[in-house]
Structure 1
């Protein structure tokens, strides 16, 4: 495995981390904005409400996307380990 392959694998890993974290971050951000708007309109300024709602939505998002995330991570790990195994040959 040459330096170019290592750089390529590192780039793929960073892209994979970005893609896998995007659904949870996006949902938490949108829910945070909506909860903040509702809190501003109703003048309820309790921080635990926003935290609990965002936490529940993030958990639901993880539960809905865990199969896809697992497949993507396992695919990357398998490719990486195959390349490492080919180094000895």
Structure 2
């Protein structure tokens, strides 16, 4: 296993993890911003007000993008196993 191959695997792993986490983080950030604006304008400082909408939003994104996430993880795993089989040969 060469140094270039290890760097390629790490780069692929980081890219895949960023690609898969971006929709969830984006929804959480947007909902958090909207809720904080709402809290600032109404002066309601309830802690559960920020948690429940984020939880619901992330759950909806998970339901909508679940198959895409699973497909992407399976592709990454197949690439890793293909690399392992090429090293063994």
**Residues 7-35 of structure 1: CA distance to partner in whole angstroms, max 9, x if unpaired?**
10110100111111000000000000001
Equivalence map 1:1-89=2 (5 Å): 1-89=1-89
Higher RCO (Cα < 8 Å, 6 or more apart): 1
Q: How many residues align?
A: 89
Unpaired runs of 5+ residues, structure 2, are none
Q: How big is each residue's C-alpha offset from its partner over 1:5-62, in whole Å with a ceiling of 9 and x where there is no partner? A: 1210110100111111000000000000001111111111101111111111011111
Return the alpha-carbon distance in structure 1 between the equivalents of residues 50 and 88 of structure 2. 52
Q: What root-mean-square deviation, in Å, do the aligned CA atoms of Structure 1 and Structure 2 show?
A: 1.0
| Deviation for aligned residue 1:3 | 2.2
Instruction: State the distance in 2 between where 1:2 and 1:79 align.
Output: 17
**TM-score normalized by structure 1?**
0.93
User: Distance between the aligned counterparts of 1:12 and 1:47, measured in 2?
Assistant: 38
The gaps in structure 1 that reach 5 residues or longer are none
Q: Which runs of at least 4 in structure 1 moved beyond 2 Å after TM superposition?
A: none
